[in-house]
Amino acid sequence: MRFFCITHKSRRSQARLGKITTSHGEILTPAFVPVATKGTLKAIPPKDIREIGIQVAFVNIFHLVDHPGIDVIEKFGGIHTYANLSIPLMSDSGGFQVFSLAEKRASTREGEGIPLVKVTEKGVRFRSPRTGRELLFSPELSIRYQEKIGADIIMAFDECIYYGASHQYTTEATERTHRWLLRCIQTKGSSSTLPPQARDRSGLQQFLYGIVQGGVFKDLRIASAKFVAQQNTPGIAIGGVSVGETKKEMREQVKWVTPFLPEEKPKHLLGIGRIEDILDFVPLGIDTFDCVEPTRLARNGVVFQNKGKQFYRIDLTKAKYLKDKNPIQKDCQCYTCEIFSLSFLHHLFKERELLGYYLATYHNLYFLEQIFKKLRIQIQKGEI
């Protein structure tokens, strides 16, 4: 099985069309990867995933280790069976939690705070934000965990570097990420196969991505890109972006590294989901993007809308929608827009009715999938 192939290259930019092939299906790229952190796309039942057009989703190994536990998922035959998800799945390594939990503290029964993160060469010691119990993640454990849940595409364990870190600390963290990558590759290479109940008939294949770090420093970003590019991994992800830096800095970080990444490997941009960012990064040759934005916004009553080439986010809780008979988007063919008015959606959110979360999330995911479908058509026509 050939993991990735480029089916068309743009003559105007670095944009390309591709196909990622996994044991659970194909992914046409460029593609968006909605985040199913705990094994579920919040508010969306699995039966609706294909109808929306979702090709692939992203689960988070840290949260799955915390609950229900890897052993539970493994006993059910893997995350696809456990969560009834039939599409390809990517899994995060836990590295992002080094950033997201670093400034938080877990409470104890005595009421005193304890740090959630401690980084050493061996790995990272977390405290569960749920229970306060200690969770150890190392490159070896992260790979084993991801293997056991049976994700199709797995990420190397890395340190997601916080914005504002000094050049010295960023150097140390980036080099540590590189050493961890080598340990991940070694662990993956020496791994035994998954138990029979976690394999499909053709045998589950898992593909490891190395992750580029380097913070906001050009020399470190380029050095990291070169190092990761030299390693024998099927794909490459760019990490440590959208962690507090400006839009200009974010774009610079991606522009610095893409010239040094192998053309024949798929490129994933971690944590990016704003439409304006996606439109800028697809021409740089980025193939896949993941982000919680469309689902998180939806649960807060914020939905996507466009007029021509302009994209908007509208707040359904605003009083001006109380008597509005229009759908969110008149030319949108999603279930929400075909059936329901802005007035009714406004009512649902004002009354905190659970149906509102479903309808808004459905629209946002469908809307984003349509954008990517259009991007693939534009690349094919030479418009990007």
Catalytic residues: 92, 290
Residues 6+ apart with CB under 8 A from 171: 220
- Give which of 315, 226, 242, 313 is closest to 96, Cα–Cα: 242
- The amino acid that residue 65 corresponds to is V
Give Cα 283 distance to the centre of its chain. 19
Task: Say whether 255 sits in a helix, a strand or coil.
Answer: helix
Q: Are 358 and 44 in contact (CB under 8 A)?
A: yes
Question: Can you tell me whether residue 148 is helix, strand or coil?
Answer: helix
Please choose, from the candidates 278, 310, 273, 309, the residue with its C-alpha nearest in 3D space to the C-alpha of residue 293. 273
User: What are the DSSP calls for 75-108, one per residue?
Assistant: HTTSHHHHHT--S-EEEE-STHHHHHTTT-EEE-
Residues 367/329, Cβ–Cβ less than 8 Å:
yes
**Number of residues in the chain:** 384
With beta carbons less than 8 A apart as the criterion, state whether 52 and 44 touch: yes
Return contacts of 168-171, CB within 8 angstroms, 24+ apart. Answer: 170/213, 170/214, 170/215, 170/216, 170/217, 170/220, 171/220
Distance (Å, whole) CA 341 – CA 34: 25
- Virtual CA dihedral for 237, 240, 242, 245, nearest 10 degrees? -140
Tell me the pairing of strands 25-29 and 124-127: unpaired
| Helix, strand and coil percent figures for the chain, each rounded to 5 | 40, 20, 40
Sign of CA dihedral 344, 347, 349, 355: negative
Q: Half-sphere exposure of residue 115, counting CA atoms within 13 Å on the CB side? A: 9
